[in-house]
Structures are given as structure tokens and as C-alpha cells.
Structure 1
Amino acid sequence: MKRQNGFTLIELVVVIVILGILAVTAAPKFMNLQVDARNASLQGLKGAIQGAAGITYGKAAVKGQETGVGAISVAGSTLNLVDGYPKATSAALGLVVNGLNNKEEWKVKTNITNHAENSISYTFANQADTKTNCYVTYNQAKSTAAATVSVTKCE
């Protein structure tokens, strides 16, 4: 009679246990990718706003509008300035940051506690308004400081 070779029950159980341990240790790393992706998108928006504000300041300085309240023409529209930087309004930032007026991607966040005066915040268009984090804030320039952009990370 010919002897059949195969795996014993103990060998199969050991392999299943090892695969289970690997799955338990690897799963949390992959399940947190959405939060990481959202935080990366917010960092990208922050960079876009900072870059646009810097370019706007350069244009304003060339035209002698780097102090006080002023306006320059951008793409055939009037861009309102404060100390050479875009004013903290959705209209002004929408002129200088491509894609910021896309209602399917970004929206203005309105329910922020301790929101600084002369600032505007953006969050994801599909995010609930009750969420207290996950947004980018643009703080308008002051006579003593340039415009700043900050990120409140998603959790």
C-alpha cells in the first residue's frame, strides 16, 4: 500500500496562527491610511495657499501695494489685499489658489471655536460640519506680521 504524504492538523493550525498574528499586526497600519491621506491633502492645501500668498505679495510689492489695504488685478478680476497679501475671504483666496473654489473638494469651515479675527478656514467638502478638526486656516496679514497658514490635523 502506498503511503500518502500531506500536512498534519498541527502543522495547519500553526500556519493559521502565524497568519493570524501577521494580520493583527499589519491591519492597523493599513486601516489608518485614510487619515494619513487626508492629512497629506491638508498639507498640500497649506503649501498651495502659502505659495499663492507669497507670489501675490511679490506682485503687490512690484506695484507698490505691500502696505495697507490695496488691490491688484489677477486674471481679469480685482484681488483685495491687506499689507500685500490676499485678504482672508473665499473670493480673494479663490482667485489665487487653483481649485479652492471647487465645491466638490473644499468648503469654508464656519463652526470653529476661538477662530481668529480676519481668518478663514477650509475643510473637505464631504466632511461633516460637526467635526472639530481636519482643516486649514489662513490668517490675514497684519501690519506687524505676514499672512500665516496653519493645519489642524485629522484624527
Structure 2
Amino acid sequence: MKGFFSKFKKNKKGYTLTELIVVVAILGVLAVIAVPMIMNSVKDAQDAGMKAQIQNIETAVQLCLADGSLYYVETGGVKVLTPASGTIENTIKQKLVGHKYPVNSKDPNKAANWWFDPATLKVGYDGSGMTNPYKLNDDASDDQHGK
């Protein structure tokens, strides 16, 4: 039995420190390459989601124009978007009932509000660059409309 254990003592096999360092370095290089690719994929998915939300709100505006709940009135040569009843914001929100959309933008790099520009019929994260924007999400207590 003594000879059996002495055999293991003489035959020490394992990885050297150099081999372990090389493996750790290779794993580090792979991590440096993979992490940015994953982070870019997450950001691309968030951006695609935000674009889809904006398109949904713009579609609701087009529906309002099509059914007459929003229409243009020409005043002094300028077309002004006018709701049939209530406010522009509430008219658009009513079209979105039943369609989930976030009240606030989920992108941490953007402003937390949705804005609508009646001059261009565009929706954006903030009112900058818009003629006379309307804030579409006054109710910050509810995370989603149209649940």
C-alpha cells in the first residue's frame, strides 16, 4: 500500500503557472471582444423598440386625422391642427386605448416624455426642433396607457 501512494507523489501532473496565465489571458481577450458586441445588440434592440413606439403614436395621429377627430383649420394662411372635442393630447391618447404604449420613454439617454408636433405630425422624445409641440404624457403615475 505504501508503494501505491508513493507512486502518486513522484508523478505530479498539473498545469503550470504559465499555462494558467495564458488561459486567463485568452479568456480576457474573448471577454473584451464579446461584451461590446452584446452591449451593442441590447442598445440596437432598445432603439428598435423606441422607433416602433414612435411609429405607433404617429399611426394613432393619422387615424385621428382619417376619422375626423383631428382636423386642420386654416387661420390667416396657417393650418392649425384642431381636435373635434377635448384636447389634441387626449384625442391621440384615446386612439391608443387598447394599444400598449409607455407613457414615458424607456431610453435612459433620452428625455422621459413623448412630444407631438402638429406641424409635421411627428412624435419625438423631447420638444426640441418642433414648431409647437404637445406633451403626450402628462400622467406619470401610470406606466402604460391602454392596458
TM-score by length of 2: 0.52
User: Which structure has greater helix proportion?
Assistant: 2
Per-residue Cα deviation, 1:56-85 (whole angstroms, up to 9, x for no partner): 22222xx9x7432352xxxxxx565xxxxx
Query: What is the RMSD of the two structures over their aligned residues, measured on CA atoms?
Result: 3.5
Say whether the 8 Å CA contact 1:39–1:134 is kept in structure 2.
no
| 3-state SS of 2:123 partner | strand
Aligned to 1:20: 28
Q: Please list every run of 5 or more consecutive structure 2 residues that lacks an aligned counterpart in the other structure.
A: 1-6, 74-81, 127-147
Q: How does 1:24-43 map to 2 (within 5 A)?
A: 24-31=32-39, 35-43=43-51
Per-residue Cα deviation, 1:108-152 (whole angstroms, up to 9, x for no partner): xxxxxxxxxxxxxxx34x96xxx76465431114xxxx5222356
Per-residue Cα deviation, 1:25-54 (whole angstroms, up to 9, x for no partner): 322333466654543332122011111122
Say whether the 8 Å CA contact 2:64–2:92 is kept in structure 1.
no
Q: How does 1:35-54 map to 2 (within 5 A)?
A: 35-54=43-62
Aligned residues: 108
* Residues 6 and 27 of structure 1: CA distance in aligned 2, closer, same or farther (over 3 Å): same
TM-score by length of 1: 0.50
User: Which structure has greater strand proportion?
Assistant: 1
Task: Work out the percentage of aligned pairs sharing the same amino acid.
Answer: 23
Q: Please list every run of 5 or more consecutive structure 1 residues that lacks an aligned counterpart in the other structure.
A: 72-77, 81-86, 108-122
**TM superposition outliers: structure 1 runs of 4+ over 3 Å:** 1-6, 28-38, 131-136
Match of 1:140 among 99, 103, 118: 118
- Tell me, yes or no, if structure 1 residue 149 matches structure 2 residue 123: yes
Larger Rg: 2
